[in-house]
Amino acid sequence: MGSPTSWVLLGSEAGVASGHPHEKVWTRVATSGDVAASTFTFTNSTSSIYNSVAILAITAGTYDTGTPTSAVAFQNDGTTSSTSHTAPSRTGVVDGLLCTSHGSDTGGTAATYTPPSGMTEQADTNSGSGSYTALEVCTLALSSTAATGTRTATCTTSRPWKGSAPLAKT
């Protein structure tokens, strides 16, 4: 999967055959031209692969535009199926924002998520013919440098999964 022009790849982790999905996380500091954009095009070079995309906009002036995010951390279950899809714990950032993703190759079954306790769900989507992927994105405002703890979303379908956790910094 490729990103639109001038998006920066923050992190990527390969998937496993018959297991957890591949995941990429990009960042971009929006410009005035983005306000008028009605679409952003993410490319896919393999026709048999389904993708989900969620764009999370963070208010201007809220987070550091020079280095708005820390490196992303990933967690997965290999080829084991479960309804509990976990994003890894991170070291907190004072006045930061924890962003988590929870994704699954749903095997053609429609799926939705219940967000981790205390987090705000920003996106919950299926994509592809027969809904082969599901993706949820959640946020949580942070007030300290304490570890965030793992964050587990509940999926309506028991399938292999992957979670990620980048941090937005002030």
Read off the pLDDT of residues 41-68 as tens digits, 9 standing for 90 and up. 667 766 555 555 566 666 555 666 566 5
Task: Give the number of other CB atoms < 10 A from CB of residue 58.
Answer: 17
Q: Provide the total of helices (H) and of strands (E) in the chain, helices listed first.
A: 1, 11
More confident residue, 47 or 90: 90
Per-residue pLDDT tens over the stretch 129-162: 566 778 899 999 999 999 999 999 999 989 899 8
pLDDT of residue 108: 81
Residue 159 CA to residue 99 CA, distance in Å, equals 22
Which tokens in the block code for residue 123?
């996106």
Which amino acid is it at 8? V
Tokens 């306000």 map to which residue?
35
pLDDT of residue 61: 59
* pTM greater than 0.75 (yes/no): yes
pLDDT of residue 11: 80
Per-residue pLDDT tens over the stretch 106-120: 888 888 899 999 999
pLDDT of residue 155: 93
